[in-house]
Amino acid sequence: MSSASSASRILTTNGRPRKSSSALDLPIRSEAPAASTTPATPIPLHYRELHPAAKPPNWRRMAVRHIRQLGDPILRVRCERVQNPKSAATRLIADDLRDSLAAAKKKYKMGRALAAPQIGAPVRIVFVQMDKQRWTMINPEITDVGPNDFLVWDDCFSFPELLVRVTRAHAVTVSYTDLKGKQRTMEAEGPMAELLQHEIDHLDGILALDRPSGVDPFAFRVEWEKLHPPEERYGPPKPREV
């Protein structure tokens, strides 16, 4: 995901998540693959402890991992929940996500987050970095959404040359577990809210390409940026159409 303005609002609390909203069911193209039935690419040895049927691996030091690209089956897998947030394997993936995000940001001059399947680990972990703040979100879930939506020209490290216009909720509440095993809640608005929706979609095998909105919703990044300033990536919030 690309860099965003400071218009995001983030509030992290330990409060009890609110009841889910049906407004979360944003449209997905009917031809999107069935994430739960698509076979995955092999799980790397250094991540297998996190898979239910796997044996503990011989640990490797943290490293920059290859970011899986559009067409790799692992991007269409509905990821497994992490059973032990405080395990060495969980920490390894968090470290690899951090290092891989830093390398990708340097290469592409963009980016705020990575999801575990993008580096070959089909488990529910997301790493987010906004300015100097960082979050490792384990088993994140959207528990509530606000009443407004907004249009976003979305991007992704798994198809870095493309932009797709999508509709996202302008405000969300997300519950997750941190690396210490503590339950957390985050309320976010604007760019941070759409980022969290994008990353949690990854954990369910859904890509931004599956959520196109409006006429002519796809563009090559280089062409779009010739015609539009960065602030036009985000439209104004509007009441959700029922």
Residues recognised as catalytic: 199
- How many Å apart are CA 24 and CA 146, to the nearest integer? 9
Beta strands in 26-124 (DSSP E): 113-115
Nearest to 203 by CA among 84, 83, 122: 122
Neighbour count for residue 240 (Cβ, 10 Å) = 16
- For residues 186 and 200, the answer to whether their CB atoms sit within 8 Å is no
Task: Show Cβ contacts of residue 203 under 8 Å, excluding neighbours closer than 6 positions.
Answer: 78, 79, 115, 116, 117, 124, 126, 140
* Residue entry with tokens 């509530």: 144
Q: What are phi and psi of 138, to 5 degrees?
A: -105, 130
